[in-house]
Amino acid sequence: MQLADHHAFALRARFLAGRIVCTSIQ
């Protein structure tokens, strides 16, 4: 796995996790 792909996946996972938390709070 390339570092760039891993970094993009981490950012995407963090973004999705943030959306899930926001929607669960509302």
User: What is the domain partition of the chain in residue ranges?
Assistant: 1-26
Distance CA 18, CA 22 (A): 6
Instruction: Read off the DSSP letter of residue 26.
Output: -
**The predicted structure's pLDDT at residue 1:** 60
What tokens appear for 19 in the block? 């959306």
Distance CA 21, CA 17 (A): 6
Distance CA 10, CA 17 (A): 10
In this prediction, the residues of the chain whose per-residue pLDDT falls under 50 are none
What tokens appear for 18 in the block? 């943030």
User: Residue 2: helix, strand or coil by DSSP?
Assistant: coil
